[in-house]
Chains A and B, each alone.
Chain A
């Protein structure tokens, strides 16, 4: 069974640009959630999608958005990039039906904003 796949692995952008990150969940998983990891703030929840609907959202500005497609793949978009957006962005998938489920994470996308 293939794991969670995130593309691209690395991205370099400049301030003001926008970026789109992609996440393909484990087959059969309908929930995809996104996390931002920085040395200063640690791991912070961005949002979670289940069956194409955003079910939960963290405390991030509107520049951060996402969507989920009918095949459960998800994309995350960050517009008007700022230096502080440099981070490892992790995607996780699960069945999405129980709070006790394991979340399976991808290897992340390392975003550097110059």
Chain B
């Protein structure tokens, strides 16, 4: 079974500052993928960044980077230079690699509020 834990129900950050959203995971799969999604109030889940368990380097996508520490089973999202439009719910998710592993397991999410 896979489990994702996001321990920060809510976070505040000043505009233009960087912020780190925490995510820890548990899985018995030897190979897996970790995802971060953003969900604004409109409801749509927007893909932000992906990290494969065998990727040697941390993933980056524009202002988003993933701080992947495999031994600690953590996959924290770092948002640099926060913008007002970054205010939303953020979900960490994972997916295994075996047969039938096309589903995502999500954490409970972190609500990020960017303060002007």
List residues of A whose CB falls within 8 A of some B CB. 31, 33, 35, 42-43, 45, 48, 50, 55-56, 58, 88, 90, 92, 94, 96, 99-100, 102-108, 110
Contacts and interface: CB of A to CB of B under 8 A. Distances in A.
Contacts of B69: none
Interface of B: 31-33, 35, 37, 42-47, 50, 52, 91, 93, 95-97, 100-109
Given A42-B108, A43-B91, A99 B44 contact: no
The interface residues of chain A, by DSSP majority, are classed as strand
A43 B108 CA distance: 8
Contact of A55 (B50, B100, B104): B100
Contacts of A96: 102
A106 B91 CA distance: 16
Given A102-B47, A108-B44, A42 B109 contact: yes
B106 A107 contact: no
Contacts of B101: 56, 99
Nearest to A43: B106
Given A43-B91, A100-B33, A100-B52, A107 B44 contact: yes
A50 B44 CA distance: 22
Contacts of B37: 105
